[in-house]
Amino acid sequence: MRQSNWAREVAVVGVGMSKFGAFPEQSSRDLFVEAFLELRDIIDKDFELDQIDAFYLGNFSSDQFEKQAHLAPILANWVGLSPIPAVRVEGACASGGIAIRQGALAIAAGLADVVLVGGVEKMTDLEIAEVTEALATAADTLYEIPAGFTFPGFYAAMASAYMTEFGADQKAFHQVCIKNHQNGALNPKAQYNQTIAQIMAAKKARAVQKGKPSPEWENEGSFLSDPRANPSIAWPLSLFDCSPVTDGSAVLLLTESKKAKQFTDHPLYLVGSGQASDGALNERKTLFNIPAAVTAAKHAYAMAGLKPEQIDLAEVHDCFTIAEIMASEDLGFFDRGEGWKAALDGKTRRDGPRPINTSGGLKAKGHPVGASGIGQVVELWKQLRGEAGERQVEGDPQIGLAHNVGGTGQTCVVNILERRN
Amino acid sequence: MRQSNWAREVAVVGVGMSKFGAFPEQSSRDLFVEAFLELRDIIDKDFELDQIDAFYLGNFSSDQFEKQAHLAPILANWVGLSPIPAVRVEGACASGGIAIRQGALAIAAGLADVVLVGGVEKMTDLEIAEVTEALATAADTLYEIPAGFTFPGFYAAMASAYMTEFGADQKAFHQVCIKNHQNGALNPKAQYNQTIAQIMAAKKARAVQKGKPSPEWENEGSFLSDPRANPSIAWPLSLFDCSPVTDGSAVLLLTESKKAKQFTDHPLYLVGSGQASDGALNERKTLFNIPAAVTAAKHAYAMAGLKPEQIDLAEVHDCFTIAEIMASEDLGFFDRGEGWKAALDGKTRRDGPRPINTSGGLKAKGHPVGASGIGQVVELWKQLRGEAGERQVEGDPQIGLAHNVGGTGQTCVVNILERRN
């Protein structure tokens, strides 16, 4: 399986992102325009629309969410890019990561020198039961869905397997949630830019206001352990283990590496990229990890000539808290079965040795499915260029990794980006 | 807009196709397996699954048709290809053509040496009104759909504009239909492998059987001109101007050019490829052609270093008969406004100077949306290798073109294939 001899190198020269959240007045088109306009502002140097050779869009299912398929040429037209080739790619929640790869491949192939990559999902127009049904189409309808699961259930099964195998505690999941909300609280684009402590304080205040006895949570851990505050969704996962339903869009501008400095003095280089596929959960030998992530990471590291310990920070696909812990092992940051302890020990905090999801992750930043994988790279852009403001990690990070999973792990994409100056 | 300096050349080394039709017992998975197994049989030389580096799937909306998104890794797994990267691309009815291009780009980029490209659509499980609604998501829901159109209406507007501009006659549309059914009658995989004469005779016989007076149709033309036989759908288009709703799948095996002869002694080379996008109908200056097709063709010809008159035969996107006539002009085979006369004069017949849709086209072969663009290349494979049996065109054709349109022309893909020995 040949995966890594790309004919030309690719750079990221600009990013843009809409606010993530629930926006009843905004369609996919509006969100995409918001992200695109930010990209135009962010590009350091002169750039004209007609420099863009192709457009790749990651979108899970505007078919179902907005009754609008064929979205790529529509969005390209919406920002004035017709008649360039416009391609939508879909790999469930990994659609954004795939779009980055396909955009990069178009450059590597010689088709294009400059490619716009975008991701968008407009999820909140439907009733929540309809959203759950639409998301369920990302699972295997022949094996997984008839087993009676929706997505929290699938990841609960993985969490349960993980706990059984490694003796992990739900408190580790809570720590992932607390950390990601701490990061999201410092991200003005995040859907939930509040810490769990702030959410807890607000809940206490509301109780007092209503004349009810104030709940006696001592800290964020006791808040998340209390089923009145954090009800069980699918054991062992509770409400605060789940990423939200989100509207949002994110975009990147990619160029052939040698042209990058025409657009910015500080490009990021796509030094590694890997993608892998897998069957449904019933096909897997183990449930306590995502095998496709291991394979995708292997290819990305091989292409980059890097080892896990050389990654300065990572944005990983924490659709559920357990998914972040599994990812931290699948990516080789911690040994198998050690990820939950690392989370408990704070090793993945912004100020820890292995920062993960400094953006707030899918959990706090939000999870507009087709945009999530691209939003991850927006965060790497900010962190690696030292532009992440209050949530900036220290130590002059140079290499970041984005890990994007689709379905129950039928798709995984890993992209590694490097700043060189 | 850079479009043509591909880093490596790509060849087609094998094809496979399911029967096209309505198959209540078969899912997308079944249809894909049918096509894939034929590919395995067709490959002249030894080939093992583990030689395949990546999979690209063209699919319009299994989300809506089968409640199954995220189809690419599922199909890859279904035929034993996990864990290779599996990517679904969507560009409405041009999804198949896009999949070919993306598969080819993965090879050109150096990611892959051998790529499986597939297309599938399973459309007949829904009620016909639901199918119409699902297909309507391929149009622009903000401008086109609120105007009250569904797809026959959009193409009727184009047909009406074409007739007004060029004085064309509906009889030209009928000739496209008659020709494509003549070709489809010789294609065992076609959904309608009957000539219009055969359909007419059967209808006459049924009338006689029921004791009704036999309709006095003299020939295929008078049959198609009779609204009792061929009712109007959206003037000037009647029932027999419309392609059907179809289940089906088609696959190709692509390789890096230098490896092609490991798989077959007679590969086809992808010498030209172009793709373009456009806004909705309301954005266009003219309605009597598809501007994106002109642009896509220009890029494909430029890459191939070929002129329209050097194309020996073409499979074009005849979702409606008018679409074939517009395509024959957009691709430069005939001057603007001359395509309808060429159709009337039989120039595009199998034995004419410019054979178009020798497979039967979408009209008679069927139109399983995501598979259609790939089915076109299956026909080119057969014709260019002299394996098209009763419908083989004469004169040792060497160069074929496939033209695949999405929506009302928001996407068009043109691929040109050449046999060299």
| Low-confidence residues in chain A, pLDDT < 50 | 1
Query: B377 and B415 in contact (C-beta within 8 Å)?
Result: yes
Q: What is the pLDDT of residue B346?
A: 98
How far is residue B201 from each of residues A303, B188, B219, B230, measured CA to CA in Å?
64, 20, 10, 14
Query: A34 and A189 in contact (C-beta within 8 Å)?
Result: no
B90 phi and psi, to 5 degrees? -135, 125
Query: A119 and A59 in contact (C-beta within 8 Å)?
Result: yes
Q: Give Cα A57 distance to the centre of its chain.
A: 15
B69 vs A61, A275, A283: nearest CB: A61
Q: What is the pLDDT of residue A214?
A: 80
A141 vs B1, B68, B109: nearest CB: B68
Whether the full predicted model's pTM is greater than 0.90, yes or no, is yes
Chain B contacts of A2, Cβ < 8 Å?
53, 111-113
> Across the interface, do A411 and B72 touch by the CB < 8 Å criterion?
yes
Q: What is the dihedral of CA A362, A367, A373, A378, to 10 degrees?
A: -70
Residue among A413, A73, A313 at smallest CA distance from B412? A73
Q: Give Cα B78 distance to the centre of its chain.
A: 25
Q: What is the pLDDT of residue B384?
A: 98
Direct distance between the N- and C-terminal alpha carbons of chain B, in angstroms, rounded to an integer: 33
Give the C-alpha separation, A159 to A130, whole Å: 25
Tokens found for residue A416: 């590694």
Residue among A415, A287, A371 at smallest CA distance from A60? A371
Q: What is the pLDDT of residue B389?
A: 97
Chain B contacts of A90, Cβ < 8 Å?
69-70, 72, 88-90
Query: A43 and A51 in contact (C-beta within 8 Å)?
Result: no
Residue among A273, A296, A229 at smallest CA distance from A377? A273
Residues of A labelled as active-site residues: 93, 367
Give the C-alpha separation, A178 to A273, whole Å: 30
Give the C-alpha separation, A362 to A190, whole Å: 9
Q: What is the pLDDT of residue B154?
A: 96
Q: What is the mean pLDDT of chain B?
A: 96
A87 vs B64, B91, B111: nearest CB: B91
Give the C-alpha separation, A267 to A11, whole Å: 6
Give the C-alpha separation, A418 to A384, whole Å: 8
Tokens found for residue B209: 């059987």
Q: How far is A60 from chain B (nearest CA, A)?
A: 8
Q: How far is A34 from chain B (nearest CA, A)?
A: 18
A7 vs B109, B142, B295: nearest CB: B109
Q: Where are the alpha helices (DSSP H) in B185-337?
A: 196-209, 220-225, 291-304, 321-330
Give the C-alpha separation, A369 to A70, whole Å: 17
What is the interface size between A and B, counted as CB pairs within 8 Å? Answer: 240
**What are the pLDDT digits (tens) for B349-388?**
999 999 999 999 999 999 999 999 999 999 999 999 999 9
Q: What angle do CA A46, A52, A57 make, to 5 degrees?
A: 125
Tokens found for residue B146: 């609120």
Residue in chain A lying closest to B275 (CA): A85
Structure-token match 């065992």, residue found: B188
Q: Is the pLDDT of residue B277 over 70?
A: yes
How far is residue A106 from each of residues A89, A117, B88, B111, measured CA to CA in Å?
13, 11, 16, 11
Residue among B111, B265, B174, B215 at smallest CA distance from A299? B111
Give the C-alpha separation, B76 to B60, whole Å: 17
Q: How far is A51 from chain B (nearest CA, A)?
A: 7
Residue among A141, A120, A144, A139 at smallest CA distance from A65? A120
Q: Give Cα A133 distance to the centre of its chain.
A: 21
Annotated catalytic residue: which of B242, B367, B403, B412? B367
**What are the pLDDT digits (tens) for B145-186?**
999 988 999 999 999 999 999 999 999 999 999 999 999 999
Q: How far is B121 from chain A (nearest CA, A)?
A: 15
Q: Does B270 touch chain A (CB under 8 A)?
A: no
Q: How far is B59 from chain A (nearest CA, A)?
A: 10
Q: What is the dihedral of CA A233, A234, A236, A239, to 10 degrees?
A: -20
> Across the interface, do A109 and B6 touch by the CB < 8 Å criterion?
yes
Structure-token match 């009779």, residue found: B226
> Across the interface, do A278 and B89 touch by the CB < 8 Å criterion?
no
How far is residue B259 from each of residues A108, A181, B16, measured CA to CA in Å?
20, 52, 20
Share of chain B above pLDDT 90, in %: 95
Q: Is B93 a catalytic residue?
A: yes
How far is residue A404 from each of residues A89, A288, A371, A377, B252, measured CA to CA in Å?
14, 17, 11, 10, 28
Residue in chain A lying closest to B133 (CA): A67
Q: How far is A341 from chain B (nearest CA, A)?
A: 29
Q: Residue type for B335, please?
A: D
Tell me the residues of chain A between 142 and 201 that have a Cβ less than 8 Å away from chain B. 142
β-strands B86-90, B54-58: how paired? parallel
Query: A85 and A73 in contact (C-beta within 8 Å)?
Result: no
Q: What is the DSSP string of A4-39?
A: ---SS-EEEEEEEEPPPB--TT--HHHHHHHHHHHH
Mutate to test the interface with B, among A82, A111, A257, A275 (most CBs of B within 10 A): A111
Q: Is B317 a catalytic residue?
A: no
How much is the average pLDDT of B209-213?
89
Q: What is the pLDDT of residue A180?
A: 98
Tell me the residues of chain B between 320 and 349 that have a Cβ less than 8 Å away from chain A. none
Mutate to test the interface with A, among B28, B53, B111 (most CBs of A within 10 A): B111
With a CB cutoff of 8 Å and minimum separation 6, the contacts of A22 are A124, A191, A245, A246, A247
Q: Is the pLDDT of residue B268 over 70?
A: yes
Q: What is the pLDDT of residue B5?
A: 79
Tell me the residues of chain B between 28 and 47 that have a Cβ less than 8 Å away from chain A. 29
Judge if the upstream peptide bond of residue B152 is cis by omega within 30 degrees of 0.
Answer: no
> Across the interface, do A73 and B139 touch by the CB < 8 Å criterion?
no
Give the C-alpha separation, A139 to A409, whole Å: 9
Q: What is the pLDDT of residue B2?
A: 52
